[in-house]
Amino acid sequence: MNLKITCIPGDGIGPEIIAEAKKVLDTVADKYGHTIQYTDILMGGASIDAYGVPLTDEAIETARAADAVLMGSIGGDTTTSPWYKLPPNLRPEAGLLAIRKALNLFANLRPAVLYSELRGACPLKEEISAAGFDMLIMRELTGGLYFGERKTVEENGVRKAVDTLVYDENEIRRIAVKGFDIAMKRRKKVTSVDKANVLDSSRLWRSVVEQVAKDYPEVALEHMLVDNCAMQLVKDPAQFDVILTENMFGDILSDEASMVTGSIGMLASASLNDTKFGLYEPSHGSAPDIAGRDIANPIATVLSAAMMLRYSFDLDREADAVEEAVRQVLKDGYRTGDIMSEGCTRTGCRQMGDLLAERIKQQ
Ligand code: IPM
Ligand code: MG
Is 344 a pocket residue for ligand 1 (Cβ < 6 Å)? no
Q: How many CB atoms lie within 10 A of CB 273?
A: 17
Residue 37's domain comprises 1-104+277-363
Decide if 117 contacts 61 (C-beta within 8 A). no
310 and 200 share one domain: no
pTM: predicted TM-score of the whole model, two decimal places: 0.94
Choose the catalytic residue: 77, 215, 227, 236.
Answer: 227
Choose the catalytic residue: 26, 134, 255, 294.
Answer: 255
Helix (H) / strand (E) containing 69: strand 68-73
Name, in order, each residue with C-beta under 8 angstroms of 70's C-beta and a sequence gap of 6 or more.
5, 6, 7, 8, 18, 21, 279, 280, 281, 301, 304, 305, 308
Q: What is the pLDDT of residue 105?
A: 98
225 and 138 share one domain: yes
Helix (H) / strand (E) containing 73: strand 68-73
| Parallel, antiparallel or unpaired: strands 107-113 and 134-140 | antiparallel
Calpha distance 328→323 (Å, rounded): 9
170 and 58 share one domain: no
Per-residue pLDDT of the chain (363 residues; tens, 9 = 90+): 999 999 999 999 999 999 999 999 999 999 999 999 999 999 999 999 999 999 999 999 999 999 999 999 999 999 999 999 999 999 999 999 999 999 999 999 999 999 888 988 899 999 999 999 999 999 999 999 999 999 999 999 999 999 999 999 999 999 999 999 999 999 999 999 999 999 999 999 999 999 999 999 999 999 999 999 999 999 999 999 999 999 999 999 999 999 999 888 999 999 999 999 999 999 999 999 999 999 999 999 999 999 999 999 999 999 999 999 999 999 999 999 999 989 999 999 999 999 999 999 999
Q: What is the CATH number of the domain that holds 232?
A: 3.40.718.10
Collapsing DSSP to helix, strand or coil, 37 comes out as strand
For residue 255, indicate whether it is catalytic: yes
Residue 142 Cα to ligand 1 midpoint, Å, equals: 11
Q: Which atom of ligand 1 is nearest to the CA of 100?
A: 12
Which domain-ending residue is among 202, 226, 261? 261
In total, the chain counts a number of residues equal to: 363
Q: How does DSSP classify residue 232? A: H
Q: How far is CA 271 from the centre of its chain?
A: 7
Among 42, 51, 52, smallest CA distance to 15 is for 42
Name, in order, each residue with C-beta under 8 angstroms of 239's C-beta and a sequence gap of 6 or more.
191, 232
Is 96 a pocket residue for ligand 1 (Cβ < 6 Å)? yes
Q: How many CB atoms lie within 10 A of CB 57?
A: 10
Residue 115 in any domain: the answer is no
93 and 37 share one domain: yes
Which domain-ending residue is among 192, 227, 261? 261
Residue 269 in any domain: the answer is no
Q: Work out how many domains the chain is built from and give that number.
A: 2
Calpha distance 250→267 (Å, rounded): 15
289 and 257 share one domain: no
DSSP string, 80-126: T-GGGGS-GGGSHHHHHHHHHHHTT--EEEEEEE--GGGGGG--S-H
Decide if 75 contacts 286 (C-beta within 8 A). yes
Which domain-ending residue is among 209, 234, 261? 261
Residue 285 Cα to ligand 1 midpoint, Å, equals: 9
Calpha distance 252→239 (Å, rounded): 19
Q: Which amino acid is at 356?
A: L
Calpha distance 194→205 (Å, rounded): 7
